[in-house]
Structure 1
């Protein structure tokens, strides 16, 4: 295989870790960990692991940093695919309006940067094994590092499944999944090996990612065993458990959700107020895992949360959510917003100068609501109500009179719907909405039908925001989940060089 073709395959498969000003005919695998050097001292091993965090934080977008896949792109893409925000500009308009195709950069780099992250994780995972075998680091330390990189491998594949594959519960995972890559690719031989990895089933991918997360959970320290901002900014046992909860929620394994949640109750606690989790409070007790950004290491103006949601006003809170009667008028979460040109915008992300807001990948409040949903669906109204109120009450002006009681709900179905609405309010602009839409397709209690109807692209009029009165203005047309646009297409740059994946393209693309 000639080196130019090798480069094309690496790039199109999402295996080159970043662009670099270097001759593409150089056979050195640039910006990949050098196996001859990167794992020869404890300090270098740690740097290699830190590089996996960096790959999650800052991806490549046409040769520039852009916050793929778990910088601002994760939050924006998952929000604008839903109806609870309004895309105000052209930045994510193609995603918002579902006008993408196999060449659309927003989708293309989601795929390629997710697999860049996977490849970095795999290369480092293999290097850690060498470092342990060569007595550079201890087996205990090796398992901690392996837990961190395998967490990212699982998280990236989980994210790809959400965008490129059908929901698990529709057919118990029998639908086509995504290629679950477990080897590092940096030679012609490993390229050939990777090219043979096709799309298995969704169920097979879930089993693999749960295996990775179980390994991570077993080897990682708890947040209490981490120091300083590493309690939140480094992967911990709690982070692995939290993503397992998301997976079990998607699988409708309600008992699994509850079992995993109970492991977290001694590790985390809700903050007294909803705002205390934000404003760069990296010592809070609620954040389970956030990706740390600094003034010198962030995705830049086009990939930072505060730039996109705050000072550039690109993602507004939709009147569909803002006007919901279940979001009470004096709820303190309304205070974490601002008005710009009549529209409402989140102020969860505040540093518009240095872009140091951490990216909140998962919080304990989300886990409480996941457990509340699981309890409600299994007819345990008492525990479901307790957890729902624990999240909601801290934001209420008068929780003694405004808290839900068992009499608030005629049946478990009403309680499930209240929990799901609370997720939309509590986790607004945190990248969770599309995951819920995806997993609730044809749900027996609160079904979603596909890509929902939305407020048209652009700044919503100030008059469209009326607390307590459901929005009744213009909406785009909903798109059923049977439409090809419900799933993103595998990028052309991948299918054009990979015949196996070309034959496994999503239907209609």
Structure 2
């Protein structure tokens, strides 16, 4: 953590400018290297500082050797790529994500280490933003209303980043009664002085329950404070939507429904499932996405269109491709629209700009809110299967060739178990290659209806044979990557050795 950035740097701050690595920036002239005491001295510099927080979220620093910076840790692309490759519905076709895919990582592995490092770099930027804006309001540089908007956006990003890190480095909420097991440090102090480094570096891990309390408090503040309303920035509705995700993991079903209901009139699903991706920053369904452009993206070693399509590094797995619930004429199978086929293997076509790498990273969209609410209704002590069915069909029906005959009915999903399992499969289909699979695997450990034990078995690492994608029957072939039980230490990523070198008291995850 001693390497956490101590200044807010304008050349990684302004969208539309050529972004550079932090190492290069530190050698630039002062106009491109604004100290944090000056970064909040004018309204325009404050706006640039906020844009810099988003740039850090979308590009990251890991391996930032190109003009376009890092590999998208953690919200620019890495959450999609790592979230898919930790699950069984993707196949790592080359070596790029092999350590993630096969769970052969260790405390020095770059992918999991920089998830932590770039995650906490982003959190520190959020904290510096909150402190700087608070001072700017006190000095009269900006109004309280403007300041509240910036603070709300920073708290939103701080909350969702802590939450994302929890799903990789800590056990799920229901692992212990009251979630008293170890989580991660919830950092709320901007580090830019030696005394702050000395005090914060020794901060212990919060419990998972404490982290959830702080995450929800930040999201509640964000909901209250933010006035911005655009897909590419944190918004009041994004905070509400993300709360449905957090409460789902907490297994607080009534609050999933309460929060999701606030958005009933704010969004509608696009007419076609592809509509979210052909107009990824201008549609009725996306709630929050990370914006990219030709001059601000994770580069060919990170961008979604590059990694998941043109370089063919990750295929859709035959495990989900051949799942019987994914109907043969489902529009999400449409070749050249949602699917791209090369050498008989199936790849996602959700990210299509292989030239400028400008596809936005879809952090949360309304389809997820609807399915979160569907699952919550189905899991209530007294299940509301009728409402769950309606919400499930709202998402699924737009992809069906003939909804009148193919939609789920009360007769086809008569029990709570049937309903929950159908919703969970629908999530796998709807959000394939959007980074949601690991999140669901994580929260379903020890579930009372559809439990998953650890990391499921996967098809062998490497390019799968084209014949494995033949439709008609579920996949029943061999698994080259064996399942990892939930009790195994490899279920969690290890705390990076770089972190433990400076804060050994933090403690490594058991078994590592």
TM-score (norm 2): 0.92
In structure 2, the CA distance between the partners of 1:33 and 1:435, relative to structure 1 (3 Å rule), is farther
2:213 to 207, 232, 256: 207
Answer yes or no: is 1:454 the counterpart of 2:455: no
Contact 2:92 2:461 in 1 (8 A): yes
Using the TM superposition, give the Cα deviation of residue 193 of structure 1 relative to its aligned residue in structure 2, in angstroms.
1.5
Aligned counterpart, 2:264: 265
Aligned counterpart, 1:466: 470
Aligned counterpart, 2:248: 249
Aligned counterpart, 1:434: 438
Indicate the larger mover: 298-307 or 60-69: 60-69
| C-alpha RMSD of matched pairs (Å) | 1.9
Aligned counterpart, 1:506: 509
Aligned counterpart, 1:487: 492
- Could you tell me how far apart the structure 1 residues matched to 2:419 and 2:266 are? 27
Show CA shifts across 1:395-444 (max 9, x none): 00000000011001231110000000000000000010000000000101
Aligned counterpart, 1:183: 189
- Could you tell me how far apart the structure 2 residues matched to 1:485 and 1:14 are? 31
Answer yes or no: is 1:60 the counterpart of 2:61: yes
Residue correspondence of structure 1 range 71-82 to structure 2 within 5 A: 71-82=76-87
Aligned counterpart, 1:342: 344
Matched residue SS, 1:211? helix
Aligned counterpart, 1:311: 310
Show CA shifts across 1:56-79 (max 9, x none): 001112443111111221101000
Aligned counterpart, 2:291: 292
- Could you tell me how far apart the structure 2 residues matched to 1:73 and 1:457 are? 19
Query: Matched residue pairs, number?
Result: 489
Using the TM superposition, give the Cα deviation of residue 303 of structure 1 relative to its aligned residue in structure 2, in angstroms.
1.3
Using the TM superposition, give the Cα deviation of residue 175 of structure 1 relative to its aligned residue in structure 2, in angstroms.
1.0
Contact 2:170 2:183 in 1 (8 A): yes
Using the TM superposition, give the Cα deviation of residue 364 of structure 1 relative to its aligned residue in structure 2, in angstroms.
0.2
- Could you tell me how far apart the structure 1 residues matched to 2:149 and 2:214 are? 19
- Could you tell me how far apart the structure 2 residues matched to 1:201 and 1:32 are? 37
Matched residue SS, 1:450? coil
Aligned counterpart, 2:448: 444
- Could you tell me how far apart the structure 1 residues matched to 2:345 and 2:211 are? 41
Matched residue SS, 1:420? helix
Runs of 5+ in structure 2 lacking a partner? 9-20
Using the TM superposition, give the Cα deviation of residue 279 of structure 1 relative to its aligned residue in structure 2, in angstroms.
2.0
Contact 1:80 1:86 in 2 (8 A): yes
Using the TM superposition, give the Cα deviation of residue 142 of structure 1 relative to its aligned residue in structure 2, in angstroms.
0.7
In structure 2, the CA distance between the partners of 1:16 and 1:273, relative to structure 1 (3 Å rule), is same
Contact 2:288 2:363 in 1 (8 A): yes
Aligned counterpart, 1:163: 168
Using the TM superposition, give the Cα deviation of residue 500 of structure 1 relative to its aligned residue in structure 2, in angstroms.
1.7
Using the TM superposition, give the Cα deviation of residue 196 of structure 1 relative to its aligned residue in structure 2, in angstroms.
2.4
- Could you tell me how far apart the structure 2 residues matched to 1:469 and 1:323 are? 6
Show CA shifts across 1:220-242 (max 9, x none): 12xxx63xxxx211111111111
Aligned counterpart, 1:361: 363
Using the TM superposition, give the Cα deviation of residue 198 of structure 1 relative to its aligned residue in structure 2, in angstroms.
1.0
Using the TM superposition, give the Cα deviation of residue 195 of structure 1 relative to its aligned residue in structure 2, in angstroms.
1.4
- Could you tell me how far apart the structure 2 residues matched to 1:374 and 1:23 are? 49
Contact 1:114 1:160 in 2 (8 A): yes
Contact 1:324 1:468 in 2 (8 A): no
Aligned counterpart, 2:502: 497
Runs of 5+ in structure 1 lacking a partner? 1-8
In structure 2, the CA distance between the partners of 1:189 and 1:307, relative to structure 1 (3 Å rule), is same
Answer yes or no: is 1:43 the counterpart of 2:35: no
Aligned counterpart, 2:18: none
Residue correspondence of structure 1 range 326-405 to structure 2 within 5 A: 326-335=325-334, 336-378=338-380, 379-405=383-409
